[in-house]
Structure 1
Amino acid sequence: MGACRFDTHRGGACAERTADRPRLAAAAPMTWLVDARGGWSRRDLLREARRAASGIDRTTTVLVATTSLHDTIVTTCAALHVGAPVWLVGARRGRLDLVDLMAEAGPGALLVTDGDLGVAGERRLADLVTGRRTPLPRVPAPVTLHTSGTTGRPRAVRRSLPSPAVVAQVGSVLRRIPLRPRRIGVAVPPTQSHGVAAWTGAWLTGVPVIDLHRLTPPETAALYAESGADAVTAVPDQLESWCAPTGLVISGSDRLAPAIAARLTDGGAQVVDVYGTTEAGPITLAGPAERALDPATVGRPLAGVRIRVVDGAGREVEPGALGRVEVCTPLLGRGRTLATDLGRMRDGLLRLEGRADELTSTRGELVSYERAEQYLRTRHGVTGVRTTAAGLHITADDTGLTADVLRRAMLRDLGPAYARVELCVTRRP
């Protein structure tokens, strides 16, 4: 198979994919976003958004579930351009979740995806473009992020992009980062809260972005090395399988394991761990100075964040004692607190000791074994399901019902987070 070249917009980057991996030449100074398809300036993206806005009605709720950073930004800007509500629901959600969200959004809702998921109302970004431009709206619409359920039952979190709280959130992180990147690779899904924070921050500061999402670990490492990027942001689960990148590494969402941070540091990277949630936003930041004091810490609170470690009665515990971590951040709003993790606070450094509810999170997304059990019991041929220490044990009377078959079904209907659930299938005598 020969090389296939991707031409770009004027003055953009030039990317090509060989038979084994993508290659990327240096982007022109005006290019802000580069992926395997090409390069775009921020003006290019806004121009595309105005054309795509012609295919969106102001009364339509637009659900964005694409894996492409380009398509996410253009679709979001297009909907905001006409004043239509935007729900960033995430491409890693299963088909059943998307069907439920479309029903919740109401008649006429529009779901923008990468391809055919078999959901009514689903369209691609290209389907929205009619070529004509639309006038500016009178009233801006909010952006709604849908949590994965890691902070309880999945819920909608409303944001305005940009808003004073979001700008302050970006600024509080940037002030604590040891250097400002010249170009940053974003490996996080663009509709996940950490991904939204990454591209929003890059947009506001003008730092060019390389879209590394959807690539395999070898492709990610190769594209990052060849792009000239000197920083990357990802979630710990991605960094675990990535050959050590150099430059600045910003881990977000879940806690970064000390072993992963040590491996990246030994490889020459400057590692920054930003711990946070969709609802609360970034909570703490741990850089080299904080990890030198405690390798397992998630760092010190960011500006405007208050943290208390409390017991079951809500009383603050002694320094270093284990308790429930209660946080209050600007994005939560005055007087609101959030508490999901167990941890310890000593000398201003927070150390997490696991979730208070003992649930499992993968790439910042909740894995509910109860939901997996309920789903598997509906599958034809399954006669019993129970949770064990090793995973889910399934009894079946269908010889064709293997663990791989059930795992693929869970991946399609429940989402990629469930692909890691261990399944053991036995035949009913």
Structure 2
Amino acid sequence: MTEGSGLGEQVQSAFRIAVMFGRSGLWRPGPPTRIARQLGALRRWGTVLGGSFVSASARDPERVAIVDDYGSLTYGQVNARTDRLATALTKDGAKPRVAVLCRNHRGMVETLVACSKAGADTVLLNTGMSAEQSLRVLEEQEIDLLIADSEFAEVLDGAKIRTLTADGPDSGLADLIVRGGGVDLSPPARPGRTVVLSSGTTGAPKGADRQPNPGLSPLASMLSRIPLKVHETMFIEAPLFHTWGYANLQMAIGLRATMVFRSRFDPEASLRRAAESRATALIAVPVMLQRMLEWRTQSKEMPDLSALRVVAVSGSALPGGFATRFMNAFGDVLYNLYGSTESSWVTIATPADLRVHPDTAGTPPPGTKLAILDDDGRPVKPGTVGRIFAANDLLFAGYTNGAGKEMVDGLMSLGDLGRIDEHGRLFVQGRADDMIVSGGENVFPGEVEDALADLPQVREVAVVGVPDEEFGQRLAAFVVLNPGQGLTADEVRDHARREVARFAVPRDVTFVDELPRNATGKVVRNRLPHASAEG
């Protein structure tokens, strides 16, 4: 890249940020003193999580920052509380490496903000991991302090390090905040790192080292496709320990939004919380929306969601036809994002995209590069399935064990297969590791799952490959039926024969009560029972 082209890209980026921030209301005039404090904080701290909160508090100290199961807190209150917590965490002069095992509530947010202010490294533990897995990660990541909800007693008791409970007004964390000293904090010499664990659906979870100071471009990139505005009321149901939930925490603070949380997901209670809080944006993972739509279909009483303008979802693929059904029930408010722990978001599908192609992952926003490459690293023609590679400002710095991801010309492999149509829309076929080769034919499980999900009796379905002496692999479908519905294996196979190629018809059909999922809603395929043909 020449110096001139690099300068041109910087000018374009600055212009894009200015336009997006203007559209979102971030340039809205306000009290000069507060604006000066806000900009001063941003200049001193940068865009680390703690610095973003200092900046937001300087501009809107009285605005409600958090609404959770324990009440509400303003930006000014949370800023003061996290100052005290950051001071308490580092009172002996050392910066502990902190692991956080919490559900979505103030304790989780305050821990993340305080650790950022203190410059302490933070590892986000998945609440869906077993106690044994969690304890192993604590050892591998060389953790000094575990902050966890009291429900994870087995991990708290088994950890051979200092621990604090985080949930409730009587938690160890709350007590530490009360006792923490009040000092004027300065930005740390080195920003603390945030480590997010990979989903672990194909093996042991790995720690991905995230960029601590992402700048303003990622926020502008998101705002280019999703019409979020300053002072939104964002109901964040997606787990904060996951890249998607964490990214929305960053974005919400940048927008000085009111963040609404529930510790546990329940479709009816969540819809009622959205209505009561007059939420303008809902952040979720696909399985949550599926459960909400099911409740909406069965319920005679629907909470007032007229304030809801945006429902943004990520974390796993949308089932076939689901986007259309959801928007028919809730309006054209759905945005589907595709990405990974290592890359954050890569493409965004708007409601208009999803009306045309309910299965699309959308197009890359400004600042993101996307390519479909063959096995030799060469671009393929539009419409051809290949390996998905991408690059943006949010690529991770590598795994904490020293490993990385395959790179080609500055683009990182996402480990998925996909294709791009003539309009630049991405269609994700699934994990490269999940592709089934049966009798020499390549079968993508997602296509078969989408076909079977169209059956009105089917609630959800997963398709995997199992060993076969004749064909190498054969397809096995695990089907969950809607309550009160009946279906036979032959009926499932007959439907598949009408919708997919002959070699993609599942020979094994197993009916199960539920699919094994991790805490972010992804199906954990290696936990499915051994397939056996029925009917």
TM-score w.r.t. the length of structure 2 is 0.60
Find out whether 1:42 has 2:78 as its counterpart.
no
> What residue is the counterpart of 1:123 in the other structure?
164
> What residue is the counterpart of 2:509 in the other structure?
none
3-state SS of the aligned residue for 2:220? helix
> What residue is the counterpart of 2:376 in the other structure?
313
3-state SS of the aligned residue for 2:434? coil
Matches of 1:241 and 1:390 in 2, distance apart?
21
- Kindly report which structure 2 residues correspond to 1:409-424, keeping only aligned pairs within 5 A, or say none: 421-423=527-529
CA change 1:416–1:147 in 2 (3 A) is: closer
Matches of 2:318 and 2:112 in 1, distance apart?
30
CA contact (8 A) 1:94 1:416 kept: no
3-state SS of the aligned residue for 1:206? coil
Find out whether 1:155 has 2:206 as its counterpart.
yes
3-state SS of the aligned residue for 2:321? helix
Matches of 1:350 and 1:287 in 2, distance apart?
12
Report the Cα offset of residue 150 of structure 1. Answer: 5.6
1:154-186 deviations in Å (ceiling 9; x for gaps): 33222344431xx32222111211453731111
Matches of 1:322 and 1:163 in 2, distance apart?
32
Matches of 1:153 and 1:338 in 2, distance apart?
19
Report the Cα offset of residue 117 of structure 1. Answer: 2.6
3-state SS of the aligned residue for 2:64? coil
Report the Cα offset of residue 325 of structure 1. Answer: 1.6
CA contact (8 A) 2:232 2:255 kept: no
- Select 1:297's aligned residue among 327, 342, 360: 360
Matches of 2:376 and 2:149 in 1, distance apart?
48
Matches of 2:203 and 2:524 in 1, distance apart?
17
3-state SS of the aligned residue for 1:242? helix
3-state SS of the aligned residue for 1:157? strand
Report the Cα offset of residue 152 of structure 1. Answer: 7.3
Matches of 2:336 and 2:269 in 1, distance apart?
23
1:90-109 deviations in Å (ceiling 9; x for gaps): 32222122111111232x62
Matches of 2:89 and 2:419 in 1, distance apart?
49
Matches of 1:163 and 1:290 in 2, distance apart?
28
CA change 1:238–1:143 in 2 (3 A) is: same
Find out whether 1:349 has 2:425 as its counterpart.
yes
In structure 2, the gaps of 5 or more residues are 1-60, 297-304, 397-408, 436-444, 447-461, 465-473, 479-513
What one-letter code is carried by the residue in structure 2 that aligns with 1:32?
A
3-state SS of the aligned residue for 1:50? helix
Find out whether 1:337 has 2:412 as its counterpart.
yes
Matches of 2:419 and 2:333 in 1, distance apart?
25
Q: Which one has a larger percent helix, Structure 1 or Structure 2?
A: 2
Matches of 1:420 and 1:187 in 2, distance apart?
26
Report the Cα offset of residue 74 of structure 1. Answer: 0.8
CA change 1:64–1:179 in 2 (3 A) is: closer
> What residue is the counterpart of 1:92 in the other structure?
128
Find out whether 1:205 has 2:255 as its counterpart.
yes
CA change 1:351–1:418 in 2 (3 A) is: closer
CA contact (8 A) 2:316 2:522 kept: no
CA change 1:265–1:206 in 2 (3 A) is: same
CA contact (8 A) 1:233 1:251 kept: yes
- Kindly report which structure 2 residues correspond to 1:8-407, keeping only aligned pairs within 5 A, or say none: 30-57=63-90, 58-106=94-142, 109-115=144-150, 116-118=153-155, 119-120=158-159, 121=161, 122-125=163-166, 126-128=171-173, 129-130=175-176, 131-133=179-181, 135-136=185-186, 137-149=188-200, 154-164=205-215, 167-180=216-229, 182-243=232-293, 246-267=308-329, 268-332=331-395, 335-346=410-421, 347-358=423-434, 389=476
Name whichever of 316-325 and 243-252 sits farther off: 243-252
3-state SS of the aligned residue for 2:268? helix
Percent sequence identity over aligned pairs? 25
Matches of 1:261 and 1:39 in 2, distance apart?
33
CA change 1:152–1:97 in 2 (3 A) is: closer
Matches of 1:345 and 1:189 in 2, distance apart?
30
1:277-302 deviations in Å (ceiling 9; x for gaps): 11111100111222244232111111
CA change 1:95–1:343 in 2 (3 A) is: same
CA RMSD of aligned residues (A): 3.4
Matches of 2:523 and 2:417 in 1, distance apart?
23
Matches of 1:339 and 1:215 in 2, distance apart?
29
Matches of 1:278 and 1:330 in 2, distance apart?
13
CA change 1:132–1:315 in 2 (3 A) is: closer
- Higher Cα Rg: structure 1 or 2? 2
Matches of 2:383 and 2:284 in 1, distance apart?
30
CA contact (8 A) 1:183 1:210 kept: yes
CA change 1:32–1:301 in 2 (3 A) is: same
CA change 1:348–1:242 in 2 (3 A) is: same
> What residue is the counterpart of 2:506 in the other structure?
none
What one-letter code is carried by the residue in structure 1 that aligns with 2:429?
E
Name whichever of 258-267 and 227-236 sits farther off: 258-267
1:337-373 deviations in Å (ceiling 9; x for gaps): 1231111111211111222110899xxxxx9x9xxxx
CA contact (8 A) 2:323 2:354 kept: no
3-state SS of the aligned residue for 2:372? strand
Matches of 2:251 and 2:217 in 1, distance apart?
10
TM-score w.r.t. the length of structure 1 is 0.73
3-state SS of the aligned residue for 2:433? coil
Report the Cα offset of residue 208 of structure 1. Answer: 1.1
Matches of 2:227 and 2:419 in 1, distance apart?
26
CA change 1:59–1:93 in 2 (3 A) is: same
CA change 1:420–1:217 in 2 (3 A) is: farther
3-state SS of the aligned residue for 2:414? strand
3-state SS of the aligned residue for 1:332? coil
> What residue is the counterpart of 2:58 in the other structure?
none
Report the Cα offset of residue 312 of structure 1. Answer: 2.2
